[in-house]
Amino acid sequence: MLKYILKRLGLAILILVGVSLILYILVRLMPVDFVRNKIAAINVSGVTPDEGYVQALYKLYGLGDNSFKGILAGYGTWLWNLCRLDLGNTWSTGVPVITEIADHMTVSFVVAFIAIIFEYLIAIPLGVTAATHQYSMRDYVVTVIVMVGISLPSFFFGRFLQSVFSMRLGWFPPSGLVDGTMNYSGFAYIGDYLWHIFLPLLVMVLLSIGGTMRYMRTNMLEVLNSDYIRTARAKGLPEKKVIYKHAFRNTMIPIVTMLAGVLPSLFSGAMITEQVFDLPGIGGFALDAMNHGDIPFIMGYNMFLALLSVIGVLLTDLMYAVVDPRVKLY
C-alpha cells in the first residue's frame, strides 16, 4: 500500500507540472490583457499615458515578451516562486493570492459541502427506490421530477426562486450572507447565515441530484440482474436483505468513482449561483480575475484545484480497496 501511494504521489507531481505548463501558456495566450485594461481605466479618468509608461507596466507585470521563449521564461519564474511556496499577489487587489483564495473559499466550501451532503442523502435513496420499482408509477414520478431539475438552467431557477420566495412571499432574503442591519452573534448569527444560503442551497441540490440519482438507478438495475442476486432470492432471503446487504454494496463501487470530483467541487465554487445570489464566494472572484487577466490568481486558483483533483483520484483508488475486497493495490 505504501509503495503504491508513493508511486502515485511521484506521478502526481509530474501531472501537476504538466498541467501548470499548459495552463500558463493558455493564460498568456488569452485575449484579455491586464495592462491594456489598466490603461483603458486610466484613459477613462482623462489621462493618456505615454508609450514609455505602458512598456514599463508590461515589464513590471512580466508581460513584455509574448513570444514562446518569453512565455517559457515567465513560466520558469512562476514555477520557481511556486517551489518557494510564493504564489505572488493578485494584480487586481494587490493582496497575496493565498489570502484571497482563503478569504473567498470559506463561503463556497460551506455551501458546497452542505449541498453535497443533501445531494447524496436524497439521490441515493431515490435511485434505489426507482430501480427496485422499475416501470412503476414511483419510478416514473421520480424520473420526471429529476429530468425537470436537470433541464432547468441554474440562473433561471435561481431567479425564479428569488422572485417567488423572496420578492413575493418574503420568506427568504434575496441575496447576501447575513443581514447587515443586525448585529447577530452565536446561534443567532448561524441561523441568519443558514437563512440567507437556503435558496442557493436549494438551487444546487435540486439541480445536482438528477445525475446522481440516474447513475444510482442504472447501477442498481445492473446489479439486481446479476446471477448472485437471483441466487440470493432463490434461497429465500428477504427482499430488503437482498437489496441493502448484497446489491447495495456492489452498487457503491461505481459511485466511488464520482467521489474523485467531489473534493475539487467543494472548493471550486458555483460561479452562476454565486452571481445570482450575490455570494462572496471563490467562483465569482475567479470569474472576475479571468475577465481582468489576473494571471497570478488564475494560476494559483487553478493549480489548487488541480492538486485537489489529483488527491481526489488517489483517494478514490484507495476507496476501491475498501468497497471491493477484490481490488488489490500494489
Quick: pLDDT tens for 303-327: 888 888 888 888 777 777 666 666 6
User: What is the mean predicted confidence (pLDDT) over 22-45?
Assistant: 77
Q: Which domain CATH number covers 189?
A: 1.10.3720.10
Give domain status of residue 285, yes or no. Answer: yes
Long-range contacts of 51-59 (CB under 8 A, 24+ apart): none
Percent of the chain with pLDDT over 70: 90
Nearest Cα residue to 119 out of 282, 262, 252: 262
Residue 206 is assigned to a structural domain of this protein: yes
270 part of a folded domain: yes
The answer as to whether 19 is a domain residue is no
On whether residue 299 sits in a domain, the answer given is no
88 sits in the region (left: phi over 0; alpha: psi -120 to 50; else beta) called left
Here the contacts of 320-326 (C-beta below 8 Å, separation 24 or greater) are: 320/253, 320/256, 323/249, 323/252, 323/253, 323/256, 324/250, 324/253
Instruction: Report yes or no: 81 and 87 within 8 Å, Cβ to Cβ.
Output: yes
Give the global pTM: 0.77
**In the predicted structure, residue 169 carries a pLDDT above the cut 80:** yes
- Residue 93 lies inside a defined structural domain of this protein: no
Range of the domain at 227: 104-293+305-323
**Residue that has been written with the C-alpha cell 499548459 in this structure:** 22
Quick check: is 284 in a domain? yes
289 within some domain: yes
Amino acid at 175: S
Q: How far is CA 326 from CA 4, 5, 245, in A?
A: 16, 18, 17
The total of structural domains in the chain comes to 1
